């Protein structure tokens, strides 16, 4: 199950045969199928099965299909797919690890803001 909400289209792409060194900051969705050595800051980040990242990711949501050595921080959710591997710290509200996915590190689960409205009786 993939939890990409409110994304209109893929904004940026790093292909299978690409190697990128340096930090990336972008709006929208970034898909990586190649190798990145640096930190990423985007709205949504998707790492394909052949992707490799050595660095940290900060985003609303992150989907990991490849290999990450670094820390992940997401405001909404992080999903590790069956072939995904994460070695590092995860900080998010929702964490999904599919069968076969690997997470080696520490997780910090923040609380999602309550959307419950309380009514008080006048008395």
In angstroms, the CA 13 to CA 34 distance is 9
Q: 26-74: per-residue pLDDT in tens?
A: 999 999 999 999 999 999 999 999 999 999 999 999 999 999 999 999 9
CA angle 69, 91, 15 (to 5 degrees): 45
Give the residue extent of every domain in the chain.
Answer: 12-17+25-99
Which residues are 54's β-sheet partners? Answer: 37, 69
pLDDT band (50, 70, 90) for residue 11: confident
CA angle 70, 73, 79 (to 5 degrees): 85
Provide the pLDDT for residue 121.
65
pTM, entire model: 0.82
Grouping H, G, I as helix, E, B as strand and the rest as coil, residue 112 is coil
pLDDT band (50, 70, 90) for residue 14: very high
In angstroms, the CA 64 to CA 78 distance is 8
Q: What is the mean pLDDT of residues 95-119?
A: 81
The DSSP result for 65-92, as a single string, is SSEEES-EEEEEEEEE-TT-EEEEEEEE
């Amino acid at each position: 199950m993939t939890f990409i909400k409110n994304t209109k289209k893929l904004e940026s792409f790093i292909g299978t045969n690409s190697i990128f060194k340096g930090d990336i900051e972008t709006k929208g969705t970034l898909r990586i199928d190649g190798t990145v050595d640096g930190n990423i800051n985007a709205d949504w980040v998707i790492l394909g099965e052949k992707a490799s990242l050595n660095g940290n990711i900060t985003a609303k949501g992150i989907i990991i299909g490849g290999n990450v050595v670094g820390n992940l921080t997401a405001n909404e959710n992080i999903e590790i797919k069956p072939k995904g591997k994460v070695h590092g710290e995860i900080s998010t509200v929702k964490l999904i690890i599919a069968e076969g996915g690997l997470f080696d590190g520490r997780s910090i689960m923040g609380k999602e803001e309550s959307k419950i409205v309380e009514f008080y009786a006048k008395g």
